[in-house]
Amino acid sequence: ELQQKVEETELLKMELQMLETERVRLSLVEEKLMDVLQLLQQLRDLKVSKRALGKILLSTLESCPDPQPGKAHLFEVLDTLHQELTACELLQSQPLEKAQSHQSLSNPLVISC
């Protein structure tokens, strides 16, 4: 009976470790998702067109092909989308003159992300 209790204890320890690992993974995904949403909000505030945002998203998905999406793939896509968004010139550039800024925002083809 003591052996059975030891085995049950070891099994519970393993399950607890797996749950902790999953909690950490979910925390990382949540953090990356919040970063991505913040960048998208900034681009929305800059009035970036839906077409330009769509191009960023398609570029992200094309750079992360995976025939069987899974947990690791989800984080990879979020991380790649984060990199694509942070590479967007509009978010990196210093405040431009209003005329230049307004002109580039009105033409989605001028935006290079």
For position 89, what pLDDT does the model report?
A: 75
For position 18, what pLDDT does the model report?
A: 97
CA–CA separation, 41 vs 77, rounded Å?
A: 18
pLDDT mean across residues, the chain: 80
Per DSSP, the residues of 24-53 read: HHHHHHHHHHHHHHHHHHHHHHTT--HHHH
For position 90, what pLDDT does the model report?
A: 72
For position 87, what pLDDT does the model report?
A: 86
In this predicted model, which residue has the larger pLDDT, 101 or 1?
Answer: 1
Six token digits for residue 70: 């899974």
CA–CA separation, 22 vs 28, rounded Å?
A: 10
For the stretch 15-61, pLDDT in tens is 999 999 999 999 999 999 999 999 999 988 888 888 989 999 999 98
For position 93, what pLDDT does the model report?
A: 67
For position 70, what pLDDT does the model report?
A: 73
For the stretch 54-101, pLDDT in tens is 999 999 988 887 766 677 788 888 999 999 998 887 777 645 433 334
Amino acid code (one letter) for 84: E
